[in-house]
Structure 1
Amino acid sequence: MPTVEVAEQAGTEPSEDVVLTLPNAVAVLDGATSLRPTERTGGWYATELAAALRRRLELRSRLAPSPGPGPHADSGADPDLADSLASAIDEVSTTHGLRPGSSPSTTVSILRWDERTVEALVLADSPIVVFTDSGTDAVTDDRLHALRTTDNGDYRQRLRGGGGFDERHHDELRAAVDATGRWRNVEGGFWVAEADPAAAHRAIRRSWPRSEVRSALLASDGVSCGVDQYDSYRDWRELLVHARAESARAVLERVRASEHADPDGSRWPRPKRHDDQALAVVEFAPDD
């Protein structure tokens, strides 16, 4: 049976990251922070969607027949991950009257396994990294990042110049988010869980034979930045080694220390001084 260690830390209270753990799956959701007053935040949406997703990920364990002899002893099939996510998005949207384009949103990353297969689904920028016998396999959705890199006049330039996280920064950040928002869940843009169930089928998918998988990491971007942006870790394997040697919590603290060393964002321009952090470390025993 795989073991799962989870660590979470808020950037500003309350955290909008949500981690969902089940006997055969782990999910990380990172609710998008609203920069304007709103009753329904990204954290609220991530919590609601996680609850709807839990019911669907638990469905297999309730419906699968008991193990037994014969070729049809386990004829139940796991519901497709994208179908399950689409159904969960539809439920939350219908229940709360959410409309595409004006709904809160969240990233969704799901790792699920059975006795034969490990599969991953990543929608928006919360990566899953799987360590196999042949190396490291990072499942990432870079479409939002690609949009950001095409914008050369955003708030990052001011941060690089020493402007810091002041009120003008927040004004420029709001303008940047508004501009990026026009590309949410449209062709040529980026895809994220919001109020359109079809977005689930735009997720990045990957699978591996269970016998080849040794470990996996699921991270919100408040942790993945320690590999992708800061100098906290040289690569994902170094991060895994640190988590094993100390703890998942120690990983969060090292990434947060990098942010403390750059309090005005001039070295590593970013939306917030400190982001919410969520990390799940999944270890598959050799005899699983």
Structure 2
Amino acid sequence: MPRVEVAEQPGVGLDGSARPSEDVVVVRPDAVIVLDGATSLRTDLPSGGWYASRLAAAIAERLEEPHPADPADVLAAAIRAVSAENGFVAGHSPSSTVALLRWTETAVDALVLGDSPVIAFGPGGPTVLADDRLAAVPRRGGGGYRTRLRSGAGYGPDHVAALRESGAAMDRLRNREGGFWVAEADPAAAYRARRARWPRAEVHAVLMATDGVSCGVDDYQIFPDWQAVLDLARRHGPRAVLDRVRAAERSDPDGSRWPRPKPHDDQVLVLVEDMALA
């Protein structure tokens, strides 16, 4: 069986105060599930972490079946079940990213919905399975929260107000053509996920991350590539990667260098080793 190491660390709320992480990890004998619940800007909805924990449990339950369905079918059924149980309606519900890794004796399957990538390492180096549709959504010009932060305005009530305005615009693009796709209340979103399958004998290791970690590669560029992340995680453990990202954020406390919704996001990094040793 592969060896799985998990490192996780909470970030902060929109007001900068401590609160429980909204990232969720489930490790099974033949699978790993990673979800990043979206921080809610609405007080009338359950938190993204609440939703992520229930969706993760629903996914895990369906993976326990003797012959679990295709990963997209599993995710769709889990979304449907959580939505029905709680009366959620598409467009007016909490949401979460999903990264699912599952293996058999011969193959490794990965599914990514939202910005929580899966990186497989083989003889040719890393292969990144990522969903970049959120990052590709055109940002509004002028007075968006990123512009405020770049100007040195920093975090605080005005930042939260700008973030709410930006969030309302993004809500109109969630799970729509030309926008981006996440797990929410529409099971059809599961079939918009990015997918990959690799021969198990060719996969030596896998990393799974939420965007509180992948930002170290994609945005901050404190790691030149995912191979550097794997090297650090192998030498000093996955927690060392989290600490490196958090240290970079502490060097930019007002978000002027790396504009981001919160000074620190929740972090999860999963290292799956010895994958090829069936």
Give the structure-2-normalised TM-score. 0.95
State the partner residue of 1:152.
Answer: 141
Alignment partner of 1:46 is 2:36: no
Q: Of the candidates 19, 32, 36, which is equivalent to residue 26 of structure 1?
A: 32
Residue 213 of structure 1 aligns with an amino acid whose one-letter code is V
Q: For residue 101 of structure 1, what is the aligned residue in structure 2?
A: 91
Determine the structure 2 residue equivalent to 1:233.
223
Q: Is the 1:27–1:218 Cα contact (8 Å) retained in structure 2?
A: no
- What do residues 102-139 of structure 1 show as CA deviations (whole Å, max 9, x unaligned)? 00000000011111100110001001111111121100
User: What is the CA distance between 1:285 and its match in structure 2?
Assistant: 5.0
Equivalent in 275, 280, 286 of residue 265 of structure 2: 275
Deviation at 1:158, TM superposition (A): 1.1
1:287 Cα deviation after fit:
3.1
Aligned to 1:254: 244
Tell me how far 1:78 sits from its aligned partner: 4.1
1:14 aligns with one of 9, 17, 20: 20
Tell me, yes or no, if the aligned pair for 1:7 and 1:280 is still in contact at 8 Å: yes
Question: Does the alignment pair 1:132 with 2:138?
Answer: no
Equivalent residue of 1:138, what SS? strand
Question: What is the distance in 1 between the residues matched to 2:64 and 2:124?
Answer: 31
Per-residue displacement from partner, 1:74-117 (whole Å, max 9, x unpaired)? xxx54100000000000000001000010000000001111110
C-alpha distance in structure 2 between counterparts of 1:217 and 1:255, whole Å: 16
Q: Is the 8 A contact 2:95 2:184 kept in 1?
A: yes
**Residues 203 and 275 of structure 2 are in contact (CA less than 8 Å); yes or no, is this contact kept in structure 1?**
no
Report if aligned partners of 2:45, 2:93 keep a CA contact under 8 Å in 1: no
The answer on whether the counterparts of 2:125 and 2:227 sit within 8 Å (CA) in structure 1 is no
Greater mean alpha carbon deviation, residues 277-286 or residues 192-201: 277-286
Summarize the Cα distance change of 1:115–1:162 in structure 2 as closer, same or farther, 3 Å threshold: same
In structure 2, runs of 5+ residues without a counterpart are 13-18
CA RMSD, Structure 1 to Structure 2 (Å): 1.1
Conservation of the 8 A alpha-carbon contact between 1:82 and 1:203: yes
**Residue 264 (structure 1) aligns with:** 254
**SS of 2:185's equivalent?**
coil
Q: SS at the partner of 1:52?
A: helix
- Between the aligned partners of 2:108 and 2:276, the Cα distance in structure 1 is 14
Report the CA distance between 1:251 and its aligned residue: 0.9
Q: Which residue of 1 aligns with 2:63?
A: 57
Instruction: Note the alpha carbon deviations across 1:61-85, whole angstroms, 9 max, x for none.
Output: xx2xxxxxxxxxxxxx541000000
Conservation of the 8 A alpha-carbon contact between 1:118 and 1:210: yes
- Distance in 2 (CA, whole Å) between partners of 1:286 and 1:193 is 30
Identity of aligned residues (%): 57
Q: Output the amino acid matched with 2:191.
A: H
Please list the CA deviations of residues 122-179 of structure 1 after superposition, one character each: whole Å capped at 9, or x if unmatched.
00100111111112110010111111x4423321111111010121111011111110
Q: 1-side partners of 2:56 and 2:262: how far apart?
A: 24
The answer as to whether partners of 1:46 and 1:105 remain within 8 angstroms in 2 is yes
Structure 1 residue 39: Cα displacement: 4.9
**TM-score where L is the length of structure 1:** 0.92
Query: For 1:94, what is the secondary structure of its paired residue?
Result: helix
Q: Which has the larger radius of gyration?
A: 1
- Give the secondary structure class of the aligned counterpart of 1:141: coil
Q: Which runs of 5+ in 1 are unaligned?
A: 64-76
Distance 2:45 2:77 in 1: 24
Q: Contact 1:10–1:275 at 8 Å: present in 2 too?
A: yes
Q: Which amino acid aligns with 1:100?
A: A
Q: Provide the aligned length of Structure 1 versus Structure 2.
A: 271
Secondary structure of 2:204 counterpart: strand
Is the 1:22–1:58 Cα contact (8 Å) retained in structure 2? Answer: no
1:179 aligns with 2:185: no
The one-letter amino acid paired with 2:270 is A
Q: Which 4+ residue blocks in structure 1 deviate beyond 3 angstroms?
A: none
